[in-house]
Amino acid sequence: MKYVLLFTLSLLWHLSAGAQAPTANEDGYFDPTRDPVLSTINGKVRFVQSEEVIVRAADIRLGKLNSVETFDKLFLNGHWYFTCECRYSLDPDQAAKVYLRLKGDENGNYFADSYWVACIGKPCGSCDWDVNTNDCFCKTDRPGEPGEPGDCNQIWSDEPLLRKVKLKPN
């Protein structure tokens, strides 16, 4: 009898926990605090949402960041990060790379954290972040000036970077 009672209580707890918040498919929105960006599927960490949805959810508060060129995931210093490379102000001499830290749960899901770093270069064709020194650097020469190193500046924030968006745009 004791085991039947424990099983019933466990079942009720799981049902009530699962019914607390709607998922992205139920309400038609991607909410990065509720819906995972990455999930462990068959032993591999993979994106759950499409690139298009995540790029639209990127509420990048750096002014004129646009034209996302690459979109990836990266494991650094014990954390998964969502990364994207883009242009700043549509200027090919101004590169930007953003690293958004993700926080995991016990089920292998990774949600948007509020901590992020952006490396913005002027002039630089491609910025990156050196995790050993915690500094940004220019990976390529100054555009149009071979052999001249470019400059990248680091911006970090603990304000949310991804925002809630509709799964299907209007």
| 2-6, 103-107, 116-120, 148-152: range with lowest mean pLDDT | 2-6
* C-alpha to C-alpha distances, 29 to 23, 106, 109, 146, nearest whole angstrom: 8, 23, 18, 46
Domain boundaries, the chain: 28-166
Indicate the pTM of the whole model. 0.76
Mean pLDDT estimate for the chain = 78
| Mean pLDDT value of segment 41-61 | 85
Q: What's the rounded mean pLDDT across residues 141-169?
A: 83
- Using CA atoms, how far apart are residues 113 and 126, in angstroms rounded to an integer? 25
Q: Which residues pair with 89 in a beta bridge?
A: none
Query: pLDDT grade, residue 25 (50/70/90)?
Result: low
Q: Does the pLDDT value for residue 43 go beyond 60? A: yes
What contacts 25, CB < 8 A, 6 or more positions away?
167
> pLDDT at residue 151 above 60?
yes
Positive/negative CA dihedral, 56, 72, 113, 152: negative
